[in-house]
Every structure is written in structure tokens, then in C-alpha cells.
Chain A
Amino acid sequence: MKLLTLNFLTCARKTCKSTAAAFPLHPKDAELEQIEIDMNPLFVKNMLPRLEWEAMKTLTQELGLPALPAETPAPEELTTEDGEASQVLKDLHVLLMETSVASGKLVCGNCGHEYAVKEGIANFLLPSHMV
């Protein structure tokens, strides 16, 4: 699951969803995988305003990845003056689109529940007492 997708996910428990502590989920024993793919500047540009940037920063920090800019990059920062992909866009592309969690756990900061990730697929099913 790409790191971009992680930014849209929180704890599946209804009681956690409204709490600030439940988001973002914290990776634990996470094994990352990086697969090189073609750049999709339009997609990255459209997704940027939909990301929770603070959560993105927390995630990169916890995963030990290079630090992100303090604020969500503005659309014009994504291209150079010649209309080429800027370094900002290239870095975002590597982080959001090429990096994914292959295995490990995602932990809710509110209830502590751990969601397992295996072969890139996270399992958000809950036992009956948590539903």
C-alpha cells in the first residue's frame, strides 16, 4: 500500500474515528518497498490539497525518511520555470507514489489496536467487541 493511501486511512473503530490521536496510524516494524514508476504530475498535484500534511510529516519522520517541507507545497512549486518537474515534485513522487508499506503493523494512537499489513495489504477487520 502506497504511502499516499496511508494518508487517507485511520483507525476503523467508530469510537476512534472522531479523535485526533487516531490519525495518522503509526507504522510499527514496517518494511518498506520502493518500486520505480513513471511520474504522474497531474495526479500528485491534485492529491496535494487532499493530504493531511501534518500526518504526512509524522509518517515520514516515523519511517526515518527525508524530512518534508513545513507546509504543503503550492502547485507552482511542482514545476521549474521551464515547465519541467521540480525537485519538490520528484521527491513527492518518490515518497507518495513509489514508496509503499510491504509488511508490518499500523497502530492506532488512540486505542492502540494494531492492524497487520502483509504483502502490502492491510487488514482493517475488527473483532466483535471493537465494532
Chain B
Amino acid sequence: MDYMIRFMQIHESFRQPETEALATLAGIPLEWVFYSHDSPFAIVRFPSTTDPATAARTLITRSILASAIYELWGTGLDYPSLHQDVRQRSAPYWPLHSQHSFRFEIDSFQGSHTSSQHTAIIESFAYMAFSGPIRMKNPSAQFVVFEDFLLDAPLPHQLHLGRLVASGNRKATLNKYTLKKRRYIATTSMDSELALVTANLALAAPGKLAYDPFMGTGSFPLACAHFGAGVFGSDLDGRSVRGKGGRDVRSNFTQYATSPLYLGGFVADLTNTPLRSSRCLDAIVCDPPYGVREGLKVLGSHKPELQAEVFLEDGRLAHLAETYLPPKKAYSFLRMLGDVLEFGTGALVEGGRLCMWMPVAGATAEEEPKGVGGKERRGGGGEGGQEGGAGKEEEYAIPHHPALELVSECTQHFNKWSRRLLTYRRLANSCIDENEMLAYQAARLILQGENGVGTADDLNSFRRKYFRGFLDPSMPRQHEKLPHTY
């Protein structure tokens, strides 16, 4: 039997990858019979599964972007063809439900009916001869007629009849995790719906370990812990980890009763990470700073006087003082993405996943001499940000690493810009192309140069060498500016 997934008509490009991730996690073979970004109704099959109903139920429980899954009892372009298909496909199943309490409803996408039309549609299925009681609350069998209308069309162009197998927990989960009710958030907290979808794509699950190197207020670790994974995180900005007045990352875990899964947070820089070199993470989930508002920073300084120990007036070492704040220097966004991929390669177990957000387009200041263009300055602070003189924006290529396979690429569109969620899978060492890896490592070494500091000019070759050109012609190119919140 085929199954119908009732998706939400939002974040369309995330829907299939989420469902596929959940199938991978549960080891369910999944085949798409019908899927379209323009429809909330998708049809799937579970080939060579002995218990497809259980597979369907498992698939939907964790889904954030699908609300329910149904047995597909029929499909058609209009009501006569639907009825014909229902007779063909589902007649053998009618007697199974003939005595059960049941209910019929209509789910119209972009369409509506008067109540008399509604009743007439439901009564047109009378030939199925269900003699059990009609019960609106908790019936044994729940049937839904799905109507798919094109916008403003008078008649639906696609119809389905389904019997409910299982509903997901989307509503309750979103209601619980909404940022509106979260005790501790910041301007850049990831919206809870997409954080949970990200955790699904990362295959977060009980017994697994996930890490967020740009934790902020903990949106991703919280989402991964919701699905049972042990989590920890870090951030370059200690203030975000520590919080204030009892509102901190830990208090968020307490709020959602997942603090047993929170292994701790610390203050650290990804380019100087304290994580030991060992492949012990099942997932890395992150939304690296886009470097617009503050300019992207890493530890270090270009000032010559800071390259040796600095003493305070009283003779003590400056960096040992209680109030010491380490200097930070500007860093390239694209180089940092490369660092995240390299870090992921070294830290993920085989099959482990890296989920990383990035803007689709942005300034490429390093491609132009500073100050050229004279367009509006981006970034409020103006303090040392490398975005300073940028005027030009272009679509970023999708970062590539020989040890990581791109699993999915999802785009979230905003009014004036968009961003991507990239999901990678750590390949087995035996599956990595050796020559490609050698070339990649060599290129990285050259880039790092002395003291691991590359100049802005290096970034051109960085782009050429590390990023595989990628322009999907079907995707509208975004040339808009990032909002000031990032």
C-alpha cells in the first residue's frame, strides 16, 4: 500500500530532506511516488518493509514539517476518477473497518466548500458501506478527503482519500519550544521550528552526542536534546553562554526538562578549539555568525605589541588578570565555513552529520579593494569588520570537503534575503578520494601561511580551491542585503 504524507505548506525545500533523514534514522527504506513543492500532499512507499504501518508511524512521530501520515485509499484528478480508484485500491480493506466507529472529513488546500457541498462529498463515499457509529472524537477509523486546488482555481486538480495511520507531534512540540515562551533568547536565536528540523536532519537521537561550536543561547543543542541526544556547545562570546540574572543556556535546558542531556557549555573559538582531535561526535549543528553586524571574529591580533606577553603596570601578566579580555581579529566568513568543514571531518564519527546554516548570498569584500563602490556600508559597528567597504553581493558557492558528502541543501527565503541549511555526512575513510584529499590539505596549508594567518588576498584562491562552483539555475538568485540582526 502507498502512504500519503500531509506536509505543512512551509519551508518547502526542507520537507523531503527531513522525511528522508527520519527514514535514515529509523532504517526505513523510503521511495517517493509523488512530491511537489507546490502541494502539501506527498505520496510515499516503503518497499520491502514487512510492517509498513509501523514504518509510517515511526516516520511521522518526530516530523516537524509533516503533520500526519495516511494509508492512501485512492487518488484521482476529479471525483469520478477518485471513486473509481478508491474502489480499485481499497475495496479489500472496507470490511476491516465496516463495524468500527469512524469519521470522515475534508482537507482542502487553497479551496473551500459550503456545508451542503461538504456533506454531499462525504456521502458520495456511501458505497464503502461502513455501518459502525459515526464518532467525531477518537473514532477507530478516520478518513480524510484531500483536495488540492491551484490558487484561485474553482475546482481541485488533485484528490486523495486517506485513512489516518498516525499524527505527528508537530503542534505540541512547536508550542513547547516557541521562542516566545523561552526564558533565555537573543537577537540571533534560531526560530524553534527550523532548529528542530535541523536536529532531525542531524539525526539527533538517544545515545548520540551533538556539539554546537556557535551555541549562542543554545537553540540547536536544545532541539537535539529534545530528540534525546546528549549535547554540549561553545561560543566565542562568553556572555551568551553565561547569560545574566539566572537566564542562561542551562536555564533553557531546565525549562524543557532536558538538563540531564546538557553536558555543558564553554567559551572557545573554533579556530583554536579545545576539543581533542578524536572522532567522537555524532553530529555538529551550527549557525555560524554571518559577520554582518559585528564583523566576524576569531582569537588573535595583528598588532605587533600583542604578539608577546603583555605586562600590566604592577608587573603582573595581563592575560592572567580576572578581567582580561583576549583580543579578537577580523576573519573571513568563507574561511570560517572551511574551518567548520575541516573541524567536522576531524570530529565526526563515520556517518556522523554536520548541519550548517549559511546565507545564500553576501558581500564578497575580499574580491574588491577596500572602499570601492561607495555603496551603503553594511554592518553597524564599523570596527575592523572586513565587510567594511563592501558593496557587491553574490551567491556563495556551497563549501565542499573531500571527506564530507552533501546530503541535502535547504533554502529558507525571507523577504529580502535567504539562507541555506547544508547537511553533510562524514564518509568512511575508505571512501575518500586520496588525491582530492591531498590536494585539499595542501591548499589549506598554503592558505594558513605563517602563524595560521592568511591575508585577504589568500581568500581568492581559498574560494577557487575549496568551494565547488554551484549555481542551481532553478533557484532565484538573491542579491538582497542581510538584515542587521546577523
Checking B272, B319, B452 against A124 with a beta-carbon cut-off of 8 angstroms, the contacting residue is B272
A92 at the interface (CB under 8 A from B): no
Least CB distance, B306 to chain A, in whole angstroms: 4
B461 at the interface (CB under 8 A from A): no
- Contacts A/B (CB < 8 Å), 28 sampled: A1-B265, A2-B263, A12-B272, A14-B272, A38-B260, A42-B207, A43-B207, A46-B207, A50-B278, A50-B280, A52-B276, A100-B264, A114-B320, A118-B242, A121-B265, A121-B267, A122-B267, A123-B238, A124-B273, A124-B274, A125-B268, A126-B269, A126-B272, A127-B324, A127-B326, A128-B307, A129-B306, A129-B307
- B208 to A, closest residue via Cβ: A46
Which A residues have a C-beta under 8 Å from some C-beta of B? 1-2, 4-5, 8-14, 17-18, 23, 37-38, 40, 42-43, 45-47, 50, 52, 97, 100, 114-115, 118-131
- B320 to A, closest residue via Cβ: A114
Least CB distance, B451 to chain A, in whole angstroms: 8
Q: A11-B274, A12-B272, A47-B209 are in contact. Are A121 and B266 (CB under 8 A)?
A: yes
- B298 to A, closest residue via Cβ: A131
- A35 to B, closest residue via Cβ: B259
Least CB distance, A81 to chain B, in whole angstroms: 22
B310 touches A120 (CB 8 A): no
A17 touches B276 (CB 8 A): yes
Chain B residues lying within 8 Å of A14, measured Cβ to Cβ, are 272, 452
B128 at the interface (CB under 8 A from A): no
A127 touches B319 (CB 8 A): yes
Chain B residues lying within 8 Å of A131, measured Cβ to Cβ, are 272, 299-300, 451-452
Chain B residues lying within 8 Å of A10, measured Cβ to Cβ, are 274-276
Chain A residues lying within 8 Å of B242, measured Cβ to Cβ, are 118-119, 121
Contact with A along B445-465 (1 / 0, CB 8 A): 000000110000000000000
Contact with A along B302-313 (1 / 0, CB 8 A): 010011111000
B241 at the interface (CB under 8 A from A): yes
A17 touches B263 (CB 8 A): no
- A24 to B, closest residue via Cβ: B276
How many Å lie between the Cα of A119 and that of B267 in the bound state?
12
Q: A1-B266, A127-B326 are in contact. Are A120 and B307 (CB under 8 A)?
A: no
How many Å lie between the Cα of A83 and that of B115 in the bound state?
58
| The 10 residue pairs across chains A and B that have the minimum distance between CB atoms | A1-B264, A127-B319, A37-B260, A42-B207, A50-B280, A124-B268, A128-B306, A131-B300, A128-B301, A12-B274
Q: Is the interface of B mostly helix, strand, loop or mixed?
A: mixed
A128 touches B273 (CB 8 A): no
- A122 to B, closest residue via Cβ: B266
How many Å lie between the Cα of A2 and that of B280 in the bound state?
16
How many Å lie between the Cα of A122 and that of B234 in the bound state?
10
Least CB distance, B454 to chain A, in whole angstroms: 14
B230 at the interface (CB under 8 A from A): yes
Q: A14-B452, A128-B299, A128-B327 are in contact. Are A40 and B260 (CB under 8 A)?
A: yes
- A114 to B, closest residue via Cβ: B320
Chain B residues lying within 8 Å of A120, measured Cβ to Cβ, are 250, 264
Chain B residues lying within 8 Å of A9, measured Cβ to Cβ, are 266, 274-276
A43 touches B206 (CB 8 A): yes
Further pairs besides A40-B260, A126-B272, A127-B319: 15, Cβ < 8 Å? A8-B280, A10-B275, A11-B274, A13-B272, A14-B452, A37-B259, A42-B207, A43-B207, A120-B264, A121-B266, A122-B266, A124-B268, A124-B273, A130-B319, A131-B300
B277 at the interface (CB under 8 A from A): yes
Q: A1-B266, A125-B326 are in contact. Are A45 and B207 (CB under 8 A)?
A: yes
Contact with A along B284-327 (1 / 0, CB 8 A): 00000000000000011101001111100000001110001011
How many Å lie between the Cα of A17 and that of B276 in the bound state?
7
Least CB distance, B101 to chain A, in whole angstroms: 39
B232 at the interface (CB under 8 A from A): yes
Least CB distance, A130 to chain B, in whole angstroms: 8
How many Å lie between the Cα of A2 and that of B269 in the bound state?
20
Chain A residues lying within 8 Å of B301, measured Cβ to Cβ, are 128
B208 touches A8 (CB 8 A): no
Q: A129-B308, A131-B300 are in contact. Are A124 and B267 (CB under 8 A)?
A: yes
